[in-house]
């Protein structure tokens, strides 16, 4: 299940390949976490109440290893507060 506003997430290696194929040279690459506030994210996507509930249950049922990887934060009431993805900043220049 993914954010319907995105076709798919490009891998870092794909970004680098596209940059290099366009005649640029990668000078710097920096990875960093991107935190999403769950309620805000759901509202921006205009998710139905049913889909939001389904997603909440799926995140709550996620194995511990994935909860750690994506920093899924669930409060004591069972509400999903936030989760994280990974973003990348790439600096490139013309040859």
**Which H/E stretch holds residue 69?**
helix 64-69
Residue 1 has a pLDDT of: 61
DSSP collapsed to 3 states, 1-62: CCCCCCCCCCCHHHHHHHHHHCCEEEEEEEEEEEEEEHHHHHHHCCCCHHHHHHHHHHHHCC
60 in Cβ contact with 73 (< 8 Å): no
Give the pLDDT confidence of 15-65 residue by residue, as tens digits.
Answer: 999 999 999 999 999 999 999 999 999 999 889 999 999 999 999 999 999
Q: How large is the average pLDDT for residues 72-78?
A: 96
Q: Tell me the pTM.
A: 0.76
């Amino acid at each position: 299940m993914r954010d319907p506003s995105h076709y798919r997430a490009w891998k870092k290696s794909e970004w680098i390949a596209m940059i290099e194929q366009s005649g640029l040279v990668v000078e710097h690459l920096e990875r960093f976490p991107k935190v999403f506030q769950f309620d805000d994210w759901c509202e921006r996507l205009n998710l139905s109440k049913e889909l939001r509930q389904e997603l909440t249950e799926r995140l709550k049922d996620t194995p511990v290893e994935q909860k750690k990887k994506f920093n899924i934060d669930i409060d004591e009431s069972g509400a999903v507060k936030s989760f994280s993805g990974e973003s990348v900043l790439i600096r490139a220049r013309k040859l």
